Structure 1
């Protein structure tokens, strides 16, 4: 019987970067980098949010990046996840609309939010968005645990 192994912060970060590049790069290429970049950012991030939620629903907690990194989202309480879990998780993660980041107090709040998420992932294997949605990100292929040497 294999125990669940939480995905490392590195695996989670690389999966997010892959998703962002695979989903948003075509949008930037389509509109061109000479367009109103702020508008293209809104469109790209809106599509990213929808795509991540839909892929998680359709692929049982995985996106393109999560498939590549061999990790997935699952319920912390061993229940079946539905679209509401994925929406809540993504909204809690992407709580920072770009236009609000022009205000210093909001920048400070966003920085605190992201740092808190990083610390929680390092300490408990779950970020604020995971706690909010009652999810956890686990490896799909269990890596063997190191064997203890007995003398």
Structure 2
């Protein structure tokens, strides 16, 4: 055996032992990584959820505006807004009254009538207004996340 060959055997053995020790992660390394990930999630999650909540408010406003446009289309066909008895369902389903069926050119909204982003129904109020000679003006309202009148923040009413 040559001297070079004999000297390389212990070095190869040491390198192999070193590789064996680096093959996996120690428990401490895993815990440190988990702690760092937990800290990042703790800092980022509230901002992410706040953005999701804001997007629900924006979506509710957009849907309420779409419903109001559908109500205006209904008004063009019938010369009036739907009554409380007809409700907003008349925007997606033909009225059962045969006298109204000939004027109905809907559906004015596609598919099922939408719910607000919190899964609650939109509320329809047909109020008299003084600014247009006593004519009616529809109001579409989402009562927000708590589905109750009033509130602040996410619980605030969204009206169009």
| TM exceeding 0.5 | no
Q: Flag the structure with more relative contact order, 1 or 2, with Cα contacts below 8 A and sequence separation at least 6.
A: 1
Structure holding more helix per residue = 1
**TM-score of the superposed pair, with normalisation by structure 1:** 0.31
Which structure: larger Rg? 2
